[in-house]
Amino acid sequence: MVDSTTRIKYRPATELVYVDNSDGKGPKDSYNAASMPIYQTATFKQSSSTQMGEYDYSRSGNPTRSHVENHLAKIMSAKRAFAVNSGMTALDVITRLVKAGEEVIAGNDLYGGTNRLLSFLATHNNVKTHHIDTTDSETIIPYLSEKTRLVLLETPTNPLMKVADIPRISEIVHERCPNALVVVDNTMMSPYLQKPLELGADIVYHSGTKYLSGHHDLMAGVVAVKDDAIGEKIYFTINATGVGLGPFDCWLLMRGVKTLAVRMDRQQANAIQIADFLQAHKFKVHYPGLKTHPQYELHAKMSRGPGAVLSFETGNVELSEKLVELTRLWGISVSFGCVNSLISMPCRMSHASIPAAVRAERAMPEDLIRLCVGIEDVDDLLEDLYHALTASGALKLAN
């Protein structure tokens, strides 16, 4: 017999959908609505002039936000989770933990917006970032010092799909720099496929605009922590700067999270077929779901699947440009995680803010094409891609 006070832990897809406030942590709805109401209000009336209730001003807290934050904490194996107004806001809040003169260690294959923020911190806040190859855990050791405050990881990286060993890097960092925090951008995987806090990370963040939302109709970010003291510091910054996610956007985010499993399962299955197709036609494909990926086994140990983003090289920039523009179903757009399939050239779009010389130094191919696979019928996606590959001449060059 199961103790009624013990929360049952279900399988991942069920946990995404099932919301249980019986532990007393979440806000209560007096009408037991099946969907959490949207508390679209800036302020809350108080019953006393000296004693404030749980909520007083939505910048500091709102029942709809609390609802989605409690649910996110559960699915991310976190002590606390926070919903903010974009993924970059999430990272900005985290970097407020770094003081002038302290240092950050980050990968050399990063999202362009992340690189932009780290460059700003270097020029304006005297916060130096060391960029390293995170695929080799030992390369971090020479850069660790008493100044190290954050170790920032993307895994898989965007757009080259490199994989970092979260458990090993976390072990090295915590052993040599007890005051340093391991931070993981888990946007590419989502909590459904990978849980960095269970792998040794201290903080995990997401662009909720991507897979958590799933429809590209919402801007949101999420920060999750496994330590209450760090959580208090994160909350202080969110409250002080007013970047908490609004009630309606919280409701949209919650709705998106509930369908994450069915979307990701379909998108991932499509991505695997497309990666196989491209590799069969002799293209160099970057995707952790392929056994030819150098960190295939490592990724499989940390995650439940390879995800739905991949990139490949044509060998020629002009051909890549033609190919991208010749697709019909694949929307030319930045971002990923949407139910619709997207195609882009990172060096021209999402990573264009990284100087060309830096891109070359980090071995980012200018001809690289990134595919963000959606939930369409995979045969339609393959046919459209084959048409673009053929019409552009890229298929002939690869073979």
Q: How far apart are CA 205 and CA 221, in angstroms?
A: 7
- CA-closest candidate to residue 307, choices 206, 208, 195, 193: 193
- CA torsion sign for 161, 162, 166, 170 is negative
Q: How far apart are CA 394 and CA 399, in angstroms?
A: 9
Tokens of 111: 């999202």
Q: How far apart are CA 377 and CA 98, in angstroms?
A: 46
The arrangement of strands across the sheet holding 128-132 comes to 80-84, 221-225, 203-207, 181-185, 148-154, 103-107, 128-132
Q: Is 359 a catalytic residue?
A: no
Q: Is 282 a catalytic residue?
A: no
Q: Is 74 a catalytic residue?
A: no
Q: Is 377 a catalytic residue?
A: no
Catalytic residue among 20, 57, 59, 79: 59
Q: How far apart are CA 221 and CA 242, in angstroms?
A: 14
Q: How far apart are CA 223 and CA 93, in angstroms?
A: 9
Q: How far apart are CA 254 and CA 35, in angstroms?
A: 9
Catalytic residue among 111, 192, 235, 287: 111
Catalytic residue among 185, 202, 249, 384: 185
Give ∠ CA 176-182-184 in degrees, rounded to 5: 155
Catalytic residue among 74, 162, 210, 226: 210
7-10 contacts: CB < 8 A, separation 24 or more?
A: none
Q: How far apart are CA 109 and CA 90, in angstroms?
A: 19
Question: What are the CA-CA distances from residue 181 to residues 77, 119, 127, 200, 285 (Å)?
Answer: 17, 20, 15, 10, 33
Q: How far apart are CA 189 and CA 307, in angstroms?
A: 6
Query: Is residue 52 within 8 Å of residue 46, measured between CB atoms?
Result: yes
Which residues are part of the catalytic machinery? 59, 111, 185, 210
